[in-house]
């Protein structure tokens, strides 16, 4: 088990280093920013990879562009805008909240709320049933009382059998 974990960790370390090596930046802050941005941007060609991970030519173009903009000292927002204005909101793993992406952001919340409402309805109903509806009619109750009396006093005359 332990060797396996080590191997997995080594793979992770390898890819992270590869993405910084070829893109030299002056400060640690900039390097961190570059890492963050390239992980946050999605490759339009190979859609389940970030541009940090992808080998597609377009991903390397985008990495170069991000690198250049970070060097120029542009803010993260400006860099994101430069990418989305060319490739669309699609390239952000966390797209801006707007009417088009509303469902994307809020479907989980909506489903949870609907689920809670459904659970609440079920619970309230079962409670109401438990309290309000009499379980036994008067007639049944007297029969039960008679049976219980018999159990308590086995010598009493058996009127049931």
Partner 1 sequence: MKRLLLFIPLLLAVGLGVVLFAGIGKDKSALESALIDKPMPEFELASLQNPDQRYRSDVFEQKVVLLNVWGTWCPSCRVEHPDLVRLARDEGVPIYGLNYKDNRDAALQWLDELGNPYELVLFDPQGKLGFDLGVYGAPETYIIDSKGIVRFRHVGVVDNELWETELEPRIRELREDS
Q: Which residues bind partner 1 (CB under 8 A)?
A: 44-45, 47, 57-58, 61, 65, 84-90
Which residue, 37, 40, 107, 86, is CA-closest to 66?
37
Smallest distance, Å, CB 24 to partner 1?
A: 21
Shorter beta-carbon distance to partner 1: residue 86 or 143: 86
Smallest distance, Å, CB 129 to partner 1?
A: 13
Q: Which helix (H) or strand (E) element contains residue 146?
A: helix 138-152
Shorter beta-carbon distance to partner 1: residue 90 or 106: 90
3-state SS assignment for residue 11: helix
Q: Are 23 and 67 in contact (CB under 8 A)?
A: yes
Shorter beta-carbon distance to partner 1: residue 99 or 157: 99
């Amino acid at each position: 088990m332990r060797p396996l974990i080590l191997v997995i960790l080594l793979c992770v370390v390898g890819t992270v280093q590869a993405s910084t090596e070829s893109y030299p930046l002056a400060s640690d802050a900039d390097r961190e920013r570059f890492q963050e941005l390239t992980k946050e941007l999605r490759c339009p060609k190979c859609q389940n990879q970030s541009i940090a991970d992808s080998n597609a030519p377009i991903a390397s173009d985008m990495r170069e562009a991000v690198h250049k903009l970070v060097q120029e000292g542009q803010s993260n927002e400006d860099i994101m805008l430069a990418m989305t204005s060319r490739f669309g909101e699609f390239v952000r793993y966390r797209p801006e909240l707007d009417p088009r992406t509303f469902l994307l952001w809020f479907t989980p919340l909506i489903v949870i709320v609907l689920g809670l409402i459904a659970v609440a309805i079920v619970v309230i109903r079962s409670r109401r049933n438990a309290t309000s509806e009499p379980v036994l009619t008067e007639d049944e109750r007297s029969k039960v009382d008679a049976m219980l009396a018999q159990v308590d006093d086995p010598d009493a005359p058996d009127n049931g059998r």
